[in-house]
Structure 1
Amino acid sequence: MRALILATALCIPTFVFAAGSEDPTPPKPTQTTTECKSGMVWDEKTKSCVAPQESQLDDDVLYQAAREFAYAGQYDHSQAALRAMSDQNDDRVLTYMGFTTRKMGDVPAGMAYYNAALQVNPDNILARSYMGQAFVEAGQLGAAREQLKEIQARGGRESWSETSLKKAIETGDGYSY
């Protein structure tokens, strides 16, 4: 039985979770985007919607809210949740600030955030994937391929970051989360 489990595990692609920032699936909608309004975040303890900057929510809850907002296309609300996180130099914050800023149309500022995230954590393969997707959107396929090589060299083979960037290079389309 152990041999079967090991053989199965070796055949199934694995996903790398870099700095807690890589999740291969879109976030599931929670009360944050289904019940709360105007960028409020669901507080499980109080069972109510709270303003991210005025709440006692921990950084992981705020990060998940930021990710959920970004996936829902609510980039300004995502940024508000990110700005409420305690460490503004956290590479997760910088990566999603880059993503949301780029999606809001300011590509140079988005790239600056990605570069800042990579200064903090050169192994942040999610930042590399989003940066590569920005290069694809700008028609800079060589630069996108360089980021793909970096992802692979930094342990990101068969990760969401690698797969999404490969697909973006092939199709010319990026992802919204």
Structure 2
Amino acid sequence: MITSPMKFATLAAFLTVPLILIAPQSAVAAGGGGGGGGGGGGDPYGSHYEAPTPSSPAQQQQGGKTTHKIKKPTKQSLFDDPIFREGYRTAYATIYEHNDYAAAIDQLHALGHDEHPNVANLIGYSYRKLGDYKQSQVWYERALKADPNHVLTWNYYGFWQIEQGNRDQAEFHLSRIAAICGTDCEEYRTLAAALEKPPGTSLVY
């Protein structure tokens, strides 16, 4: 027969096991966002993006020898850099709060990472708002080359297509968005709503 104190000890030990096994996890959101250009607002780093959690190089034992495997930095890891992150925030505010698109283009170039899809998309957006559709297209294409699934670029490039009268192309962009994030995401809903408007309607995005 188990005595009462032993029962309490056994119960206490049993209850603490799940707490030990469940390790806390932290998610680092980076995004790139409304800010990458999606939907004209929201997360300045863009929805549908997560920055990788910083980690030290993995160590492996091979024949008693310790080797280091170093992961190549990803584009999204740039948001772990406070200088890049703050510079991007500044450019984002210049665009969406001050509507100073020319200054924003300079600020984005100054980040030194034109190849990043969020950066390229915002440059494309800024050129579109300035009425330079040729340069805008160049940068939207550049963003999609860097990341073919960059849903925010498909969204903003879709508005570009509508403004240029290319509604069939905008429909294609809408289908790409649906394939990436479904029909309930903001990027799909805003572009679908724009396509429902009569041709020639002024778009706010």
Under a length normalisation based on structure 2, what TM-score does the superposition of the two structures give?
Answer: 0.58
Change (3 A) 1:25 1:99: closer
Residue 168 of structure 2 is matched in structure 1 by: 142
How far 1:122 moved relative to its partner?
0.5
What letter matches 1:174 in structure 2? L
Change (3 A) 1:84 1:108: same
How far 1:156 moved relative to its partner?
4.6
Superposed CA RMSD: 2.3
Check if 1:65 corresponds to 2:90: yes
Change (3 A) 1:97 1:158: same
How far 1:135 moved relative to its partner?
0.7
Change (3 A) 1:160 1:64: farther
How far 1:173 moved relative to its partner?
3.9
Check if 1:121 corresponds to 2:182: no
Instruction: List aligned pairs for 1:10-159, cutoff 5 A.
Output: 20-23=31-34, 26=41, 58-71=83-96, 72-159=98-185
Aligned mates of 1:88, 1:146 — CA distance in 2: 26
Q: Which runs of 5+ in 1 are unaligned?
A: 1-18, 29-55
Change (3 A) 1:157 1:21: farther
Change (3 A) 1:145 1:115: same
| CA displacement 1:14-36 (0-9 Å, x = unmatched) | xxxxx7222367369xxxxxxxx
Bigger relative CO (Cα 8 Å, ≥ 6 apart) = 1
Residue 19 of structure 2 is matched in structure 1 by: none
Residues 117 and 143, structure 2, Cα contact 8 Å, conserved in 1: yes
| CA displacement 1:116-174 (0-9 Å, x = unmatched) | 10000001011111110011111111100100000110125322211221121122443
Aligned mates of 1:116, 1:87 — CA distance in 2: 12
What letter matches 2:135 in structure 1? A
Aligned mates of 1:120, 1:27 — CA distance in 2: 22
Residues 33 and 42, structure 2, Cα contact 8 Å, conserved in 1: no
Aligned mates of 1:140, 1:22 — CA distance in 2: 25
**Secondary structure of the equivalent of 1:123?**
coil
What letter matches 1:68 in structure 2? A
Structure whose CA Rg is larger? 2
How far 1:100 moved relative to its partner?
0.4
Aligned mates of 2:142, 2:182 — CA distance in 1: 20
